[in-house]
Structure 1
Amino acid sequence: MARRTKQEAQETRDAILDAAAQVFYAKGVANSGLEEIAELAGVTRGAVYWHFKNKVDLFEALHDTLHEPFMEVILHDLENDHPQPLKQLEELCDNVLVELADNAKKQRILSIFFFKCDYSGEMAQVLKKQEAQQVKSRMLFDRYFERAQAKGHVNPMFDPQSLSIGLWCYLTGIVQEYLRYPGQIDLKHQAPQLVAQFFHGLNHHP
């Protein structure tokens, strides 16, 4: 019985997060209220407060639904001592972009973070948390470049941290433009070439 109750609680939490994503996307975070999120989720406002302290807490939890799985994918990938770390990272980036093109839910949530939220006032703390999470993710990219450099595949003049920053900015720019103007980029089919263009200049041939 306890197991079923825990499962039901998780299902309620997921329903609230799904409803929040829809409401935030349609109205913007600042103009959205917990009442309408609860109504869309088919739960009481009390149920929302049982799982989340307030709207900021709910917004942060929504961000975690993307960040935590992303970190798990990278950490799992890094367990493989790939003979070509650059190619490994390139394939990872390809997969992330192609998967985004097929995932409307993820597109909606990312659009909220990029375009539907004013990170001022009480939301300023959220931006700091996102920054810390971004740094952790980006540092994992460092490990690919460090491995590639150790194998002689990357010019020793390049700084792995700078390469990670450049790659992160490149991917973020692609994602933002895709979400802002979805008709301009055929992400599912163009992602491999877009990613390859970044990595092409990194290969080192002494």
Structure 2
Amino acid sequence: MSRRKADAERTRETILDAAESTFLAQGVSRTTLAHIAQAAGVTRGAIYWHFEDKAALFDALLERVRLPLDEIVDDAALRLGATPIDCLREIAQRSLAGICHDLPLQRAATIVLHRCEKLEDDHPKICMITRLSEHAEAQVEQLFEQIQLADNLRADLTPASARRQFHGFLIGVCFDWLQDPQQYSLADEYNGVVETLIRGLIVDSPLNH
């Protein structure tokens, strides 16, 4: 990599770091490119050299730290000897563990869930950290289909509704905890949280006896 290219990459990362800290401090809608430029110690022109606008900068920030949901789901689904229930448990545990222990991801998730306000209501990528891809959705729904075939899915649920509730429950836990991570240790409690989730969706499993 040439020195000029390396300098440009460092500047880009400095801008992203400044955007992250500024978004966290004052919210996305109240943050201007001038605020970010001041925090980064660069000109607005330098920001425009790397990013078309604030939305593009926001996208780049989230792309830098995404929860690898596809990888988590695929690893769990392909694990030899694992039952569908065990796969779902692992997906939930690893997702919450990521929010707990990956600090850049934790900060980005806080921005998405608590610092976006009204400006980003129509932004198509606002949920890109927490959203399941179509591939991951299909994999999780397939696990619930297998559970239904084994007569272990709650009778009032379909695989699709179970998948939505599974995802929504985890997002709700993250939303609540990220409001104030000091309120309790999610790292100490997420296994119990996951068991509560599984028990709410599954019937006649060993967990319920």
Q: TM-score, normalised by structure 1?
A: 0.79
1:30 match? 29
Q: Deviations over 1:37-61 (max 9, x none)?
A: 2343344433321221111121222
List, as ranges, runs of 4+ consecutive aligned residues in structure 1 with deviation greater than 6 Å: none
2:122 match? 125
Q: How far has the Cα of 1:100 moved from its partner?
A: 1.8
Q: In structure 1, list runs of 5 or more residues that go unmatched.
A: none
- CA separation of 1:95/1:83 partners in 2, compared to 1, >3 Å: closer, same or farther? closer
Q: How far has the Cα of 1:195 moved from its partner?
A: 0.5
1:97 match? 96
Query: What is the alpha-carbon distance in structure 2 between the residues aligned to residue 11 and residue 29 of structure 1?
Result: 23
Could you tell me which amino acid in structure 2 is paired with residue 40 of structure 1?
A
Q: TM-score, normalised by structure 2?
A: 0.78
1:154 match? 152
1:134 match? 131
Q: Deviations over 1:126-155 (max 9, x none)?
A: 1x44468835354442133234445x2733
1:174 match? 173
Q: How far has the Cα of 1:72 moved from its partner?
A: 3.6
Answering whether residue 48 of structure 2 is matched by residue 55 of structure 1, we say: no
Higher mean C-alpha deviation, range 135-144 or range 51-60: 135-144
1:41 match? 40
Q: Work out the percentage of aligned pairs sharing the same amino acid.
A: 29
Higher helix proportion:
1
- CA separation of 1:30/1:167 partners in 2, compared to 1, >3 Å: closer, same or farther? same
Answering whether residue 15 of structure 2 is matched by residue 16 of structure 1, we say: yes
Higher mean C-alpha deviation, range 107-116 or range 21-30: 107-116
Could you tell me which amino acid in structure 2 is paired with residue 155 of structure 1?
L
2:110 match? 111
SS at match of 2:116: coil
CA RMSD of aligned residues (A): 2.9
Q: How far has the Cα of 1:85 moved from its partner?
A: 2.0
Alignment: residue pair count:
200
Could you tell me which amino acid in structure 1 is paired with residue 131 of structure 2?
Q
